Structure formats: structure tokens, C-alpha cells
Amino acid sequence: MTTLYSADDLRALLPHRHPFVMLDRLEVTEPGKSGIGYKNISIADPVFAGHFPQQAIYPGVLLIEAAGHTCGIVHTAAEAEGESRIGFLAGVRKFSFKKVVVPGDVVTIQVRKRTALGDLFEYECKLLVDGGIVAEGSVAVAMQA
């Protein structure tokens, strides 16, 4: 059963605040295993004031952060009620960027858990715009004790 999280739900779950809330919506398809995050790219985002002001390109590092947020919430969705912990980005492996992401794009972030070792979880991530892959790689999330 898919669980949907709105922007307000995500703000309640994430310790981040503006401008580092990287997701607009999220679907957990299998708690602790897989999900899909959505990031709307807007020219109003403050990052565009300084990141290639002559040609607005969304930074790859922020795409990785959005993937990390997606993985963290997918993972914590499997935890028992009242037991929710915060996940921290612990590693990024083999992330590659295929196309630039620009204002007007909606980035779909598909994540699936690959492996787990104690409180460290690695997720495979595919980021798509209009069905085409714009970036992919893996993200490790460490859960706070």
C-alpha cells in the first residue's frame, strides 16, 4: 500500500527548513524499501541567484540532497510509531549526471534499498525528468542511535 506525504507532512518529518527542504511530495511504495520523491524546480529558488545566473542550472549536489531526503523518509516509514529517528547522509557512490535540470522541470526521484549493515542503509537512486534519467547513483543513510 502506497503512503503519500504532502509538502506539509514532509516538513513535519524532516529536520530541515527553508531553503533545505528538498522535496515537494513523496510516495512510499514499500516502507523501508522503496519510494518516489518529487522536486519541483522553480526559478524562484534562491540558488539560481548565484548558480549560473546567465543560464539557470539546478546544482547536482542539491539533487543528491533531495535523493538523500527521499531515502531517509522511505527508510523511517518502516519504523514503529513514535520510534522515528533522523537519518544522515553518510555516503554518495558513483553518482553521475546525464542531463542538466532547469527551472520548470519536475524531478522524480526513484529509490530502492540495496543493502543494510546495522544502522547504515544504501539506496539505489534514479532521478528522472519527463521519464528520462538525469542522474543516478547510490546514497547511504546512517540512522541516529
**Containing structural domain, residue 111:** 3-143
Percent of residues, the chain, with pLDDT higher than 70: 96
18 is catalytic: no
Q: Which helix (H) or strand (E) holds 73?
A: helix 60-76
Q: Which residues contact 18 (CB under 8 A, 6 or more apart)?
A: none
Reported pTM: 0.92
Domain count, the chain: 1
Question: Grid coordinates in use for 30?
Answer: 514499500
Residue range 41-87, pLDDT digits in tens: 999 999 998 888 789 999 999 999 999 999 999 988 877 555 667 78
> pLDDT at position 87, please?
80
- Are the C-beta atoms of residues 101 and 58 closer than 8 Å to each other? yes
Catalytic residue (one of 16, 18, 51, 75): 51
The CATH code of the domain that includes 61 is 3.10.129.10
